[in-house]
Amino acid sequence: MHAWPASEVPALPGQGRDLVIHDTATGGPVTLQPGPVARLYVCGITPYDATHMGHAATYNAFDLVQRVWLDTKRQVHYVQNVTDVDDPLLERAERDGVDWTALAEKETALFREDMTALRMLPPRHYIGAVEAIPGIVPLVERLRELGAAYDLDGDVYFSVESDPHFGQVSNLDAAAMRLLSAERGGDPERPGKKNPVDPMLWMAARDGEPSWDGGSLGRGRPGWHIECVAIALDHLGMGFDVQGGGSDLAFPHHEMGASHAQVLTGEFPMAKAYVHAGMVALDGEKMSKSKGNLVFVSQLRRDGVDPAAIRLALHAHHYRADWEWTEQVLRDAVARVERWRAAVSRPDGPAAEGVVDEVRAALADDLNAPEALAAVDRWVARQAETGGPDESAPGVLSRAVDALLGVAL
């Protein structure tokens, strides 16, 4: 699949800093020191509805990860998937009487537009589940050969007991896992499973549903976790730097994915850090396509909201926090963009190098975007009070805000 166009990232004077990030698996900070090419996998959308502010907040966090790395003169190999066949997509297409492939294409196209408008850097590889099927089948076959998978009425399940490290991403007890498995696409009640949380690797063809040739697996379609693993291993290999997504993906999705990969390769861990963004709520409840309490990026854009303001609204919350989208959040962001734009269009200001370093330090410290905004706010306030002698400062600041925060002033 094609991704979306990249906005340019200006090079900045001075030195970028290595990213220290909170890792769900260890429960603490990890200093990442990738090689010259940092490797990032971020779970993509299931394209059955438009991009909402919760999605945007999660992708915003991983856009910042890339910007911190790029600022250290590294390249970033970023991979993202599109879950373009799965139960919720098929159910929505059925409900609305539309073709599921057309629905997926339409919503993926809209996601690309939203990401472009928000200046989110695109993945180098943007891969759909359907196009990944030829790579998924041999992995499931291999898991079977290794004795890590078993058949149940034609479906193939992964046995979590086959991975000695199972449980080390989310660190949950069995009861919590079972509960979340039921909530998030699993089938812990199905009789005949070895462990209730064992996830499906391959679902045998069902009447009226799309299916593909699965070689020795028979016709069917892939499970959710193996999809991301196949794509990540194909393009990044084991031991990549960051596996990312919203906090609702820690279990079962990232836990199961890590186990699949670890059993397949005999290596540990799949990723050096598992990074999870908090959940954005609306009216007191997690924004979700299934609940329908949504604020769409595309709707805000149609209403004439400046994408730069949308991004500043996202940056105003720490990525790990759960927070509530409100009209006030947006109003504050619109006012901030106006203040910043006015400031960088003045002919001079106080020296900006210190501010650039404060922004760098804040972002390198577990992506503390609210602190980065505060540093720019302080410069803007100083400039308004005292003006400044430095004619290059507004330009330096504007380029730093663009390069590090993805906001074009």
Q: Which residues bind ligand 5CA (CB under 6 A)?
A: 43-46, 54-55, 57-58, 81, 83, 228, 245-246, 248-249, 277, 279-280, 286-288
Tell me whether residue 185 or residue 370 sits nearer to Zn ion (CB atom). 185
Please give the backbone phi and psi of residue 384, each rounded to the nearest 5 degrees, phi first.
-65, -35
Q: Which residues contact 322 (CB under 8 A, 6 or more apart)?
A: 247, 278, 279, 280, 281
In the list Zn ion, ligand 5CA, none, the entry touching 104 (Cβ below 5 to 8 angstroms by class) is: none
Least CB distance to ligand 5CA at residue 248 (A): 5
Taking CB within 5 to 8 Å according to partner kind, which of Zn ion, ligand 5CA, none is near residue 246? ligand 5CA
Cβ closest to ligand 5CA, residue 116 vs residue 288: 288
Closer residue to ligand 5CA (CB): 287 or 409: 287
Contacted by 58, from Zn ion, ligand 5CA, none: CB < 5 to 8 Å by type: ligand 5CA
Q: Which is nearer to Zn ion, 256 or 393 (CB)?
A: 256
Exposed, middle or buried: residue 57 (CB in 10 Å: 0-12, 13-18, 19+)? Answer: buried
Nearer to ligand 5CA, 252 or 350 (CB): 252
DSSP 252: I
Residues 40/79, Cβ–Cβ less than 8 Å: yes
CA–CA separation, 118 vs 62, rounded Å? Answer: 13
Q: CB neighbours of 195 closer than 8 A, spacing ≥ 6? A: 159, 160, 161
Q: Which is nearer to ligand 5CA, 55 or 399 (CB)?
A: 55
Residue 231: CB minimum distance to ligand 5CA, A: 9
Q: Which residues pair with 349 in a beta bridge?
A: 390
Closest CA to 168 of 59, 259, 37, 291: 259
State the nearest-atom distance from the C-beta of 170 to ligand 5CA, in Å: 13
**Residue 175 beta carbon to ligand 5CA: minimum distance, rounded to whole angstroms:** 22
Q: How far is the CB of 130 from ligand 5CA (least distance, A)?
A: 13
Which distant-in-sequence residues (6+ apart) come within 8 Å of 81 by Cβ?
43, 44, 126, 127, 128, 129, 132, 227, 228, 231
Closest residue to Zn ion in the complex (CB): 43
Q: Rounded to an integer, what distance in angstroms lies between the CA atom of residue 59 and that of residue 121?
A: 10
287 binds, among Zn ion, ligand 5CA, none (CB under 5 to 8 A by kind): ligand 5CA
Q: Where are the alpha helices (DSSP H) in 39-173?
A: 53-71, 87-96, 100-117, 129-145
Closest contact distance (angstroms) between CB of 164 and Zn ion is 23
Query: How far apart are the C-alpha atoms of 351 and 321, rounded to whole Å?
Result: 32
Considering beta carbons, is residue 127 or 312 the nearer one to Zn ion?
127
Smallest separation (angstroms) from Zn ion to the CB of 43: 3
**225 contact, one of ligand 5CA, Zn ion, none, CB 5-8 Å limit per kind:** none
Binding residues vs Zn ion (CB under 5 A): 43, 228
Partner from Zn ion, ligand 5CA, none contacting 355, C-beta within 5 to 8 A by type: none
Q: Give the closest residue to 370 by CA, choosing from 409, 329, 403, 339.
A: 329
